[in-house]
């Protein structure tokens, strides 16, 4: 089974940063879907609640989306290095 992400090498190499990098189209699909869900959810929240009374909804959306993406990345990352 092919892996969708690879770990970054760290700050002291040419591959700057920490985290995972998409290496297949499935990985890029996960990243694009994450960005679309968070951006679309924020625009929907602003249109639905302009006064900000339900301030916890965007936090739940962002942290929930980050959690799901982290789980997918952990399960689909290539740790063979």
Q: What is the pLDDT of residues 41-50, one digit of tens each?
A: 888 887 777 7
Would the pTM of this model clear 0.85, i.e. be above it?
no
Q: Does 10 reside within a domain?
A: no
Structural domain contains residue 21: no
Instruction: Look at residue 15 and tell me if it is in a domain.
Output: no
70 located within any domain:
yes
Whether residue 77 is contained in a domain is answered as yes
For 62, the domain range is: 48-81
Count of domains forming the chain: 1
Q: Would residue 38 count as lying in a domain?
A: no
Nearest in space to 19 (alpha carbons), one of 75, 68, 81, 74: 74
Mean pLDDT of the chain: 80
Residue 43 belongs to a domain: no
Considering the domain boundaries, does residue 42 fall inside one? no
Q: Tokens 């995972």, residue? A: 20
Q: Report, as an integer, the average pLDDT of 42-59.
A: 79
The confidence score (pLDDT) of residue 16 equals: 60
Measured N-to-C along each axis, helices 56-75 and 25-48 cross at an angle, to the nearest 10 degrees, of 170
> Looking at per-residue confidence, does 61 or 51 come out higher?
61
Query: pLDDT band for position 17 (50/70/90)?
Result: low
């Amino acid at each position: 089974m092919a892996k969708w992400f690879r770990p970054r090498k760290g700050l002291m190499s040419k591959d700057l940063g920490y985290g995972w990098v998409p290496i297949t189209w499935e990985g890029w699909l996960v990243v694009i879907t994450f960005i679309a869900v968070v951006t679309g959810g924020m625009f929907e929240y602003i249109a639905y609640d302009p006064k900000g009374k339900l301030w916890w909804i965007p936090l739940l959306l962002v942290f929930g989306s980050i959690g799901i993406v982290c789980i997918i990345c952990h399960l689909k990352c290539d740790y063979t290095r």
